[in-house]
Structures are given as C-alpha cells and as structure tokens.
Amino acid sequence: MLVYAFGNEKARPLMTAIPTVLFVCVHNAGRSQMAAGYLQHLAGDRIDVLSAGSEPKDQINPVAVAAMAEEGIDIAGNTPKLLTVDAVKESDVVITMGCGDACPIFPGKRYEDWQLDDPAGQGPETVRRIRDEIRTRVETLIAELTPSEDAA
C-alpha cells in the first residue's frame, strides 16, 4: 500500500513497496559503483538502486570494473553522477562511503556510513578485498530490506 503526501507539490508516495537505496562516495567511480552493481545484480527488481558522488570523476575506476567483471557484473557502462538533493529525497536508505558531510540529511530516512578503503589508485588484490567486503554488506542490506519468502 502506498501513502501519499499532498500539498503545494504534486502528490508523491511517502512509502513504497520497493525501497530505494542510494550509495554515495566522493568520486562515484569505485565503492558506490561496486555496491550499486551488486545490489542491482543480487536484488533485481526488489530494490531500486541509485549511486552518486560529491565530486564525481569522469569515468568508473577501471580496476573496479575489472573486479566486478570477475563476479559477472558489468559496471563498465555506468557514468559517475553528481549527488543531488533530489536523489537523497527519493531514497529510503542512504549509504555513504567516505564522503563526510556532503550528503544532506532528511528526517525519516535510514542513513549508514560504510567505512571502506578507497579503491582509487589501488591494485587488483586490494580492490578485490574491498569488493568482497561490499558484497557482504550488500547481502546483509538485502536481507534487511526485503521480506523473506517464508514470512508470507
């Protein structure tokens, strides 16, 4: 069931059946892209996925692209995006990864800060370790956000 807010703006849902998760890091070229790739791959259409950066780079980190390709997940076509207030507003969960206070805070949203090393300038082994830690956290997030099949 959707609950709508009415006012001076167009009616919009306050709560949706499908949660939206926003991953934010500084450059939106490594950690947040890997997390978004995993969430999209593992959750499918059960969770909407966004990612952005406070100071986005021009392209995704090629070592991150290669590490995700090893998992069968293609993030090569993604483009780093600038963090906007609208992206935060439309998200139910905002996960930051080393971007400090760049992310605006709105009441009623779930915020988490994942302390992860930055893959920028790192070699494949380090990026794989970061990738694997991200996968573990994403799997936990999916379990928390999606109802169990057995709970029905």
CA atoms within 13 A on the CB side of 11: 4
22 is catalytic: no
121 is catalytic: no
Per DSSP, the three-state class of 63 is: helix
From CA 131, how far away is CA 78, in angstroms rounded?
17
91 is catalytic: no
From CA 42, how far away is CA 73, in angstroms rounded?
10
Catalytic residue among 24, 25, 49, 73: 25
Catalytic residue among 22, 47, 49, 103: 103
Q: Which two tokens stand for residue 67?
A: 């590490």
From CA 79, how far away is CA 34, in angstroms rounded?
12
Catalytic residue among 63, 99, 138, 141: 99
Residues involved in catalysis:
25, 99, 103
